[in-house]
Chains A and B, each alone.
Chain A
Amino acid sequence: MQTDSSTVKSPSKPLGELSSHAEYAAHVMAAIRRLAQAEDEAQAVDVLVAASDRMGTDAAAFVSFVRDDPSHESFRFLLACDPVWCLEYERRAWYSTDPWLQYALTHSEPIRARDIPTTSAQERSVVELATQYGFRSALIVPAPSSGGLTRLGVLCLGSDDERFFDDDGFLPLRLLARTLAMELHEWWIARIKHELVINARLQEEDLTLLKHERLGLGTKQIASALDMSPNAVNSRFQRMIAKLGVPNRKAAAQLAAEYGLI
């Protein structure tokens, strides 16, 4: 799934000049704060466009994905750049050979893209494609998760200027980019959590059962705590695991924890 907003940009000013402006950080933060009100992907893209614009970058993309998702079905994109880039990327299914994504799987520090080594022709092709679509130079900002969540995020900020991320303005930009990345990441997590609840038709009572299961309680203990019969607990779990497509209640609780539902 991808959402985009193509914009016509004026030539980039040097980052140092932009960030020396007294209101630079405040302007970017004001754009980021609007994310809390974004109700759908289109509104979130508007925020990304505004934040990227105020930071002075020419292109931006945020990718949210689940660690160890070989099917790539968990990938969600927010694009403030030419969407053809993403279409090409998806068509070629370059996820596993994308050095920027691979970096985000194992690191949490923002990094200039050119400092990420590309060690194969396939990886160089991925970077070359990005170069063609506004990421001649880029800043890669991982958004890691903790607490058992398996979803990660990566913010890619791009510029047509090869040296854009090299001057004195890099440090303030790095801080702001990290804030933006984490806010976008949280926004996706909340949205996907909501989608799972709706799609699997989970109710509050289901989540309570899953919380008890996660605590290691057995059927009788859960039944007693929730004033239900053991058979009612079992049949509720059985329906729930079918809806979630998992084999048992332990896997259901694990999945719920990974999605941040409990």
Chain B
Amino acid sequence: MTQGGERGDVSGLVRQWLGAAGYLSIFLMPALFLIGTATGKTWLAFGIIVIAFPIARIVFGALPAAGAPEWHESVATFLDRLPLAYAAALPVCVVSALAFADASIATDGLALAGVGLSLWMTLLLGTCAAHELIHRRNRRQTLVGSLLAGFCGYPMLAMEHLAHHARPGDTYLAEYPLRTESLWQFTARRIVRVTAEVLGWSSALWSTREPKPALDRTRVALMGTALAALGFAAAGGLLGLLLYLGMIVAVAFGIQLITYIQHWGLGQDSVPDRIAYGRGWEDDCRFQAWVTLSVSLHDHHHRDSRMPYYRLDLSPDSPRLPAGYVLLMFASLVRPLWLTMMRPALVRWLLEPASPLSAGRRITCFGLDRSREQAPV
């Protein structure tokens, strides 16, 4: 090896570490929640998400055109362990934040609302790391993922999500939303079905006579939820416990909301001939891929669910979201606005799947290919 070659290797490795450092942004929300609560600026984490995240798509740009890097072993190993470190850090940050919060927050409605919204976003993003871990080959890591999902307030994640992968395009069981239903209808239908299936009285979960290895994940997740409830109660008393109960409802809603964004218009009612593995909307935003651990590269994830987040890339023929998750979260709440944004994107993908059009580096892309808006979906 020449000296120049060695220098090239070293600079390549440094570039890889710099690229990999972007994924450290998953720690941003727990840190912001901790800082915000400790300093009385309870809206900090939520405010950053709403204002700074859309801007970050412009600042950090698109995913590299060359695809995911062929990570050096040391970098890949670091990235592989990152969700595990996060699973340890999130509960510590959240419970510490509540324990050290100013007592005056409890009597200030506005501050309390800030805590609620910031915590909702923090825990919702926490489920991204849980999601990554529950797909792992390693059994212990899947259990850590389940525990984390439980802490985030959604112990059904593992069972629900893995069934979601096993039923590609299924609108009947609300694995995918019907194109004609609103977020609210989809959420109600899915929550009822999933809760009955995973936690209902007919579930095998409550059977104690025989060991059921596949149900361990849900049991561990429920343990995570119970521990979190205890932690919130210990740190914040009755108010802390009520806050956590509210989070359980809010995170469950948030998970359905994200599912709606990821799969609207891609179910068997819309594209029955294209459901080979379960299609998903993708976004080429680099920052969004970092902060969600590539949940935004959803089509590729459905094609190969065992592929770790740091090796995922945009699928060459995936449907592309017309804006980032944050804007679409708000848009999905109002159906006319949702359709205004999503219909043109869906029409374009149906007509030209081989040349998908990403949202670009604008904050919004309401005008994306509007010429096709009137085409039949």
Q: How large is the interface on B (under 10, 10 to 19, 20 to 34, 35 or more residues)?
A: 35 or more
- The proximity string for A residues 225-262 relative to B, scoring 1 for CB distances below 8 Å and 0 otherwise, is 00001010010011101100111110100010000000
- Say whether, besides A70-B142, A72-B166, A91-B167, A241 and B76 are in contact (CB < 8 Å): yes
B306 interface residue (CB < 8 Å to A): yes
Instruction: Given A237-B73, A242-B71, check contact A102 B202 (CB 8 Å).
Output: no
The reply to whether the CB of A71 lies closer than 8 angstroms to some CB of chain B is yes
Looking at the assembled complex, report how far the CB atom of B36 sits from the nearest CB atom of chain A, in whole angstroms.
Answer: 33
Indicate whether B274 reaches chain A with its CB closer than 8 angstroms: no
Is there an interface contact between B213 and A105, defined as CB atoms closer than 8 Å?
yes
Is A242 a contact partner of B311 (Cβ separation < 8 A)?
yes
Stretch at the interface among B40-48, B97-105, B131-139, B283-291: B131-139
B1 CB–A CB distance under 8 Å? yes
Give chain B residues whose Cβ lies under 8 Å from the Cβ of A120. Answer: 202-207
A131–B163 Cα distance when bound, in Å, is 23
List A contacts of B119 (CB < 8 A). none
On whether the beta carbons of B209 and A119 are closer than 8 Å, the reply is yes
Give, as a whole number of angstroms, the nearest-CB distance from B2 to chain A.
11
- Which residues of chain B from 187 to 208 have any CB-CB distance to chain A below 8 Å in the complex? 197, 201-208
Q: Does any Cβ of B come within 8 Å of A12's Cβ?
A: no
Q: How far is the CA of A217 from the CA of B168 in the complex (A)?
A: 43
Q: A72-B165, A102-B214, A242-B311 are in contact. Are A123 and B204 (CB under 8 A)?
A: yes
- Measured in the bound complex, the distance between the Cα atoms of B210 and A242 in whole Å is 40
Chain B positions within 8 Å of A91 at CB level = 167, 170
What is the size category of the interface that chain A forms with chain B? 35 or more
Chain A hits for B77, CB < 8 A: 247-248
Bound-state CA distance A91–B304 (Å) is 19
Q: What separation, in Å, do the CA atoms of A248 and B138 have in the docked complex? A: 14
Q: Which residues of B contact A234 (CB under 8 A)?
A: 73
Interfacial chain B residues near A73, Cβ < 8 Å: 165, 305-306
Query: A11: CB under 8 A from chain B?
Result: no
B236 to chain A, nearest CB (A): 34
> Which residues of chain A are within 8 angstroms of B201 by Cβ–Cβ distance?
121
Is the CB of A43 closer than 8 A to any CB of chain B? no
Query: Which of A16-24, A92-100, A181-189 contacts the other chain?
Result: A92-100
Tell me the dominant secondary structure on chain A's binding face: helix
Q: Tell me, in angstroms, the Cα distance from A248 to B72 when the chains sit together.
A: 9
> Within residues 115 to 137 of chain B, which ones have a CB less than 8 A from any CB in chain A?
134-135, 137
Q: How far is the CA of A105 from the CA of B215 in the complex (A)?
A: 13
Within 8 A of A (CB), among B72-86: 72-73, 76-77, 79-80
| Residues in chain A near residue B134, CB distance under 8 A | 70
A147 CB to nearest B CB, Å: 18
Smallest beta-carbon distance B119→chain A, Å: 28
Q: Which B residues are in CB contact (< 8 Å) with A216?
A: none
Given A70-B162, A91-B170, A247-B79: A238 in contact with B139 (beta carbons within 8 A)? no
Complex Cα distance A105/B79, Å? 32
Nearest-CB residue, chain B, relative to A91: B167
User: Given B135, B142, B308, which contacts A247 in the complex, CB threshold below 8 Å?
Assistant: B308
Q: Is the CB of A248 within 8 A of B209?
A: no
Q: If the complex has contacts A93-B163, A121-B202, are A245 and B304 also in contact, measured as CB distance less than 8 A?
A: yes
Q: Is B109 an interface residue (CB 8 A)?
A: no
CB distance from B301 to the nearest CB of A (A): 11
Check B7 for interface membership: any CB of A closer than 8 A: no
> How far apart are the CA atoms of A248 and B201 in the complex, in Å?
43
Q: How far is the CB of A195 from chain B (nearest CB, A)?
A: 14
Q: Please tell me if the beta carbons of A119 and B207 are within 8 angstroms of each other in the complex.
A: yes
Nearest CB to that of A125 among chain B residues? B202
Q: Which of A107-154 contact B (CB under 8 A)?
A: 117, 119-123
1/0 contact trace for A68-111 toward B, CB 8 Å?
10111100000000000000001111011101001001100000
Task: Tell yes or no: B217 within 8 A of A by CB.
Answer: yes
Cβ of B376 under 8 Å from chain A? no
The CA-CA distance from A180 to B80 in the complex, in Å, is: 40
Do B1 and A248 touch across chains, with their CB atoms under 8 A apart?
A: no
Contact B76 A117 (CB under 8 A): no
A246→B141 CA distance, assembly (Å)? 14
Which of A73, A92, A117, A120: most chain B CB closer than 10 A?
A: A120
**One of B73, B135, B306 near A238 (C-beta < 8 A):** B73
Nearest A residue to B68 via CB reads A242
Rank and list the top 5 A-B pairs by shortest CB-CB distance, nearest first.
A121-B202, A119-B207, A96-B214, A93-B166, A247-B80
Beyond contacts A70-B142, A123-B207, A245-B308: 8 other A-B pairs, Cβ-Cβ < 8 A, are: A71-B306, A102-B210, A119-B209, A241-B76, A242-B71, A242-B311, A247-B80, A251-B80
11 CB-based A-B contacts, threshold 8 Å = A93-B166, A99-B210, A102-B214, A120-B202, A120-B203, A229-B1, A242-B70, A247-B73, A248-B76, A249-B73, A255-B137
Query: Which A residues fall within an 8 A CB radius of B?
Result: 68, 70-73, 90-93, 95-97, 99, 102, 105-106, 117, 119-123, 229, 231, 234, 237-239, 241-242, 245-249, 251, 255
